[in-house]
Chains A and B, each alone.
Chain A
Amino acid sequence: MIIEFGHFALILALLVAAFQTVVPAWGARVNDGRLMRVAEPAAVSQLFLLLIAFCALMHAYVTSDFSVANVAINSHSTKPLIYKISGVWGNHEGSMLLWVLILALFGAAVAVFGNNLPATLKANVLAVQASIALAFLLFIVLTSDPFARLAQPPADGNGLNPILQDPALAFHPPFLYTGYVGFSIAFSFAVAALIEGRVDAAWARWVRPWTLAAWMFLTIGIAMGSWWAYYELGWGGWWFWDPVENASFMPWLAGTALLHSALVMEKREALKVWTILLAILTFSLSLMGAFIVRSGVLTSVHSFAVDPERGVFILGILVVFTGGALALFALRAKDMRFGGLFAPISREGSLVFNNLLLVTSTATVLIGTLYPLLLEATTGDKISVGPPFFNMTFGPLMLPLLLAMPFGPLLAWKRGDVLAAAQRLMFAAMAAVVVLAVAYAAFERGPWIAPFGIALGAFVMFGAVTEWATRIKLGTAQFDEVARRAVNLPRSNYGTLLAHFGIGLMVVGIVATTAYQQERILVMKPGDTVEIGGFELAFKGAVPGRGPNYREDIAQFDVTRGGAAVTRLEPSKRLYDAPPQPTTESGIHASWRGDLYVVIGDEQTPGSYAVRAYFNPLVRFIWLGALIMFVGGGISLSDRRLRVGAPRKSRRSAPIAAE
């Protein structure tokens, strides 16, 4: 009964979404308060109903109810409880249900917390939000029903793909989806502003924190996915420029741009039109990500043609929302009043620079991701655009962005002084030069350019600290004054410091591990040793083991460094019971210098195994950087103040460039 009740709740949610799309928008048009007010209970009801549906499906998973087709196909009775739960969103139908649930969560949050929003804006925002929910609920009910039943429940389910049975991946989709879907709020606000033909002062005040929240979750979601790929897939890599990864990376890049332009808008009422456009593009990229991942075009354009129902549906959603919003933008944007003015060299100007580079790099990734698909669709040729393309295009775009990054926060609003900023960054630049020298000394081999990359990352880190030091007058004021300033400094500034510092740390990790990774591939018999990254690895042999739903061969390696025992690594090869698939579990020894990473392959002759060992210098910095960015976002989010940017007064009546 619970299943069917959940199914009914899902369908009722669909109708409530239709109601919430039509009535409040109509109310906003004819300026009727009662019609507009239905949006609030409707948004909350939608969340309530989808929560019922989601819990019903989760209940079916936890109790292994194989009369539900979705459970029979994706679960198995012997799976540990945590993977029964994560199995709910480990498949197409369940993940779409999670998607609309998070969408409803955001909509309800606007309804409940949006008391200070003008009534028409709120009604329009909730109507647009509901129209997105309506589209996806239709998609679920018509093509991807998670509650379809089986007449003859099978004895047991097919099981969840073993490589997905992993703690990091269990919680990767909810974070990622919270990020994707969070941008829907910015989108709904943008479309509502276009419908109204004006941008309220409350607009940016709302869009900035919601965008920040979405960005935080997307950051940590992508980082979790990358970390999972690193230790689970057993290739020793952390990013593959795979279309699925790019699908989440593009909204992140556009979302980062949106975050910065929304900041300008809140503080200075400038860049209004641009921010609206970015909000539309960011969410459209999220939708495109859903399309790419969910439609099956990735495996092959032809598999999309074989079962087009779902793919065409999502493509339709993508076209309607992106196309509709952009058409509205084209129609209305010219009527929007432009906001504040500022000089090219100013905080605003630096953020425009940041936006241009981020949007260009988004476009680069977009081309690299879609071009092979388009080519295959038109000519049938299968090509793969791999890391070389992205390294050649994306890398150079990041260079000026990273170089300019420390300057931005040091420039004043409205009109800035780039020389003064450069002077303040002297210390950071000198520290980066020291890092450059140290990098050359530490890594005698490797490409000549790599130490410069590490120094650049260090420059970004030191630059972030410089900005903070300048604000608290470190080194120029008394200690009391410095301490007082450090305590009084708004949390939003600490957020900026941490986010920028995290980026720098990540750059250092990326460059070091890309340029200086060491790799050994060999066949080892028990008793063999291999030397890598300053460690000696001694293979002791492999023993069989048994987990809750898999059998494994566990290889044992004793790790020593200069004769002293360091650790024992136990990489393994697992064979899952259902579905019977092998996975590799890597053995990783993490240290500040880098990771020692060992995986075993097939048994070659009895007792001897193919072994791949890597040393990945500073690889942890990548995820540590992402974590610091996440924390920085959280600290900034906890700062509920309105953001006001004080303009620099003009010394004389200098001509001011327009936006």
Chain B
Amino acid sequence: MLFWLAVAVLAAAVTFAVTRPLLQDDKRSDETSSADVAVYKDQLLEIVADRDRGVMSDGEADAARTEIARRLLRQVDRAGGTAANKPGAGRTRGVNTTPVFFAASLALPLASLGLYVTYGEPGRPAQPLSQRLAAPAAGASTNDLIAKVEATLQKNPQDGRGWDVIAPVYLAEGRASDAASAYATAMRLLGENASRLQGFADARIRAENGVVPDDAKVALKALLTAEPQRREPRIWLALAKEQDGDRAGAAADYRALLAEAPKDAPWRQAIEERLQLVERGPVADAPSTPAKPGSATVDARAAEVAAMTPEQRDAMIASMVTGLAERLKSEKTDLIGWQKLIRAYQVLGRKDDVAKALTDARTGLAGDEARLRELEDWVKQLGLSG
């Protein structure tokens, strides 16, 4: 309300200020030539002043004066001529300005409001960081919460618990390098434990797009020493061997893993595929291309999600999905976004949401033939109806 009041006052004040002259008397005289005459008279005075200061000699001053006097005479002649040709030229009231006044008084505020409503977000409050940090945690967005923890850590960088809290959040947000350094700081301050080691290794691998860097190897080995029954570190270390060119070593590790694996282990198939690739020959650079279904990176993400408690995991997934759905409300033409959202609902088993998202996507993409066709093809592939 206050906002609209302020907008109205500003629009009214400016409109009044700029249109006011239209209602006043036209008290203009023909000053065009008189302005010129004034300049020449000023120049004549200037010459006298310059001569008195000794800047011009008497001879120079005389010459300059003669010249300007000539211009002045010419101007006076011309002004006389104009006045004779157009008697009262200066006082002609060319137009009736009252309609101009009313048109402008209406057009200025209305058009600016119209444009503003189109381009602006009326009444949306400012969200300065300090205010977001002060808001209660319940109901705050992930970003606000991150900002809060970051602000605390800025003030007190030795707070290991803070780093511990924010590291997995960074990882979930896709900020892998930030997550890695947060895990590293937490380990420096609070010491190593299994979840930090694993988080650090995951973050580093993800930051390197699926390549296992040396510091991640060190962390994975430490993790394995602490908890020898874990399998993910062994998978990663085998993959690291493969990436380093040690194909025989990698194959041996994969076989060892398979030998121990329960028959119904969900990761069994992935390991078998890798083993085949390693044994087949030197084309096995698949892990460096991220996010192919069944590739190492996706497995790693799955492993990382698996490391969370079930509550954490659900909360994380729910927040990611909601965030995506929110974003798509404004970015209706984002085909990939829609595909991700529909997939997510499908995986979560939210059938009603799948149907709704599909309808929304179709409306959102309505103007774009190519993308719409792409969406339909994809829907067919997925075996979704309707």
Contacts and interface: CB of A to CB of B under 8 A. Distances in A.
Interface string A33-72: 1111110111011001100100000011001111100000
Contacts of A117: 35
Contacts of B327: 151-152
B272 to A, nearest CB: 40
A37 B121 CA distance: 35
Nearest to A472: B54
Max chain B Cβ within 10 angstroms of own Cβ: one of A66, A152, A201, A648: A201
A149 interface: yes
Given A35-B97, A65-B129, A78 B154 contact: yes
A5 B7 contact: yes
A45 B20 CA distance: 13
Contacts of A11: 112, 115-116, 119-120
Interface in B11-60: 11, 14, 17-28, 31-32, 35-36, 38-40, 42-43, 46-47, 49-50, 53-56, 59-60
Interface residues of A, number: 79
Contact of B32 (A9, A20, A44, A200): A200
Contacts of A646: 47, 56, 60-61, 63-64
Interface stretch (B143-151, B240-248, B359-367, B373-381): B143-151
Interface of A: 1-5, 7-9, 11-12, 14-16, 19-20, 23, 27, 30-38, 40-42, 44-45, 48-49, 52, 59-60, 63-67, 77-78, 116-121, 141, 145, 147, 149, 151-156, 200-202, 205, 269, 340, 484-485, 488-490, 580, 641-642, 644-649
A646 B66 CA distance: 10
Contact of A65 (B2, B39, B53, B127): B127
A644 B50 contact: yes
B81 to A, nearest CB: 14
Chain A interface main SS type: helix
Contact of A202 (B25, B35, B326): B35
Interface of B: 2-3, 6-7, 10-11, 14, 17-28, 31-32, 35-36, 38-40, 42-43, 46-47, 49-50, 53-56, 59-61, 63-64, 67-68, 71, 75, 89-90, 92-95, 97, 100, 104, 107-108, 111-112, 115-116, 119-130, 132, 141-147, 150-151, 154, 177, 323, 326-327, 329-330
B370 to A, nearest CB: 18
Given A4-B124, A488-B53, A642-B39, A141 B119 contact: yes
A36 B37 CA distance: 22
A328 B6 CA distance: 43
Given A33-B28, A118-B31, A647 B67 contact: yes
Given A141-B115, A642-B46, 18 more contacts: A4-B3, A12-B11, A16-B14, A16-B108, A34-B21, A34-B23, A35-B95, A38-B21, A67-B124, A116-B38, A121-B32, A141-B119, A153-B144, A156-B129, A156-B147, A646-B47, A646-B63, A649-B63
A32 B95 contact: yes
B77 to A, nearest CB: 13
Given A38-B21, A648-B63, A269 B128 contact: no
Given A8-B10, A33-B28, A644-B47, A269 B92 contact: no
B150 A155 contact: yes
A61 to B, nearest CB: 10
Contacts of A147: 120
B36 to A, nearest CB: 4
